Amino acid sequence: MFIVQTLLPIFAQTVLPVILVAAAGYGLASAFTIDSKSLGRILFFLATPSLVFRSLYRSELDLTVLQQLAIVTVAVILSSGLMGWLVSIGEDRQRRAAFILTSAISNNGNMGIPISFFAFGEMGLALGSIYYVFTSFMSNTLGVVVASAGQTPVIAALAQSIRVPVLYSATLGLVLNLMQVELPQPLFRAIDLLADAAIPGMLILLGIQLHKAPLTRVPWVVLRSTAVRLLIGPLLAWLLCLGLAIGGVERNVLILQAGMPTAVMAAVLSTEYDTEPELVATVILVSTLISMASLSILLWLML
């Protein structure tokens, strides 16, 4: 009765729309040969930066909130990575790197931004976008160092992060917001159109990427990594928010984003550096499937 009366409405309003659009992408990938790389580039270079820019340009966030977001986000990523390292004691070096990747890199873009928006509206979208910007930077720097098992220098990894467009769009959106600069209407409408394509595009791409993930078996190591990502992540965020006296929508979005499943970015890095790519892909699929329930429970606790 509790599930029907309480969890089901939350699931239907916030998580189900994400599943349906992702399922459409999954079905499309099953029926046709889809060039996911091209769609990914459109989202990476155009739609997602536009969404992040628009969210921050129109938001009413202050610098204190941004500072709190940065502290909690970085702390959650580092702590989750540390937990991944701890639960993989006894494994070989590559598998430990895979554990750290799948524990620390969460899907704050394709899933985190839409669910934050559906659950908490425009403020949720703005806060979720900022969280995504920080995680993108961390994934493209420390993530590279971890995936390469320490073979890539930190300076080289930092140089790679320069290629991440959302860092620039977020900075520009915040600066123009703080300076109260009004953009010409034709330019803002163009950004608006691109931004509107981001959320459905992200979810379709998620479905396409999940279609490629293997699920032949679910070994214990996959469940260990999934538990760190879905359970330890939000617990760490809650403790940090408690310690920093962060409340309201800001706290809720931080906890929600910390409980997202493993991101496809982890698979990209593990494939590039041959860090147990099949294991990482399986964790992505399993954690995404289980997160349908875990995220609904998280939202029930917050709403």
| Across 126-133, average pLDDT | 92
pLDDT digit string, tens, across residues 156-214:
767 766 778 888 999 999 899 989 999 999 999 999 999 999 999 989 988 888 887 76
pTM value is 0.88
pLDDT digit string, tens, across residues 4-28:
667 888 888 899 999 999 999 999 9
In terms of pLDDT, which residue wins out, 82 or 158?
Answer: 82
In this structure, the number of other CB atoms found within 10 A of the CB of residue 70 comes to 14
* Confidence (pLDDT) at 291: 95
Over 70: is that where the pLDDT of 151 sits? no
In terms of pLDDT, which residue wins out, 40 or 215?
Answer: 40
Over 70: is that where the pLDDT of 248 sits? yes
Q: Which domains does the chain have, with CATH numbers?
A: 2-45+62-164+196-302 (1.20.1530.20)
| Distance (Å) of CA 257 to CA 45, 118, 248, 302 | 22, 13, 14, 13
Q: What is the distance between the alpha carbons of residues 153 and 224, in angstroms, rounded to a whole number?
A: 29
Nearest Cα to Cα of residue 48 among 109, 117, 136:
109
Q: 107-116, 150-159, 224-233: lowest mean pLDDT where?
A: 150-159
* Confidence (pLDDT) at 4: 60
In this structure, what is the dihedral angle of CA atoms 241, 244, 250, 253, given to the nearest 10 degrees?
Answer: -20
In terms of pLDDT, which residue wins out, 35 or 198?
Answer: 198
| Across 44-50, average pLDDT | 92
| Across 91-116, average pLDDT | 91
Using left for φ > 0, alpha for ψ between -120 and 50, and beta otherwise, residue 106 falls in: beta
| Across 79-85, average pLDDT | 94
Residue 1: pLDDT band with limits 50, 70, 90: low
Residue 46's contacts (CB-CB under 8 Å, 6 or more residues apart) are 194
User: Mean pLDDT over all residues of the chain?
Assistant: 89
Paired tokens of 75: 């702390």
Using left for φ > 0, alpha for ψ between -120 and 50, and beta otherwise, residue 268 falls in: alpha
Over 70: is that where the pLDDT of 3 sits? no
Token match 């329930």: residue? 293
| Across 123-145, average pLDDT | 89
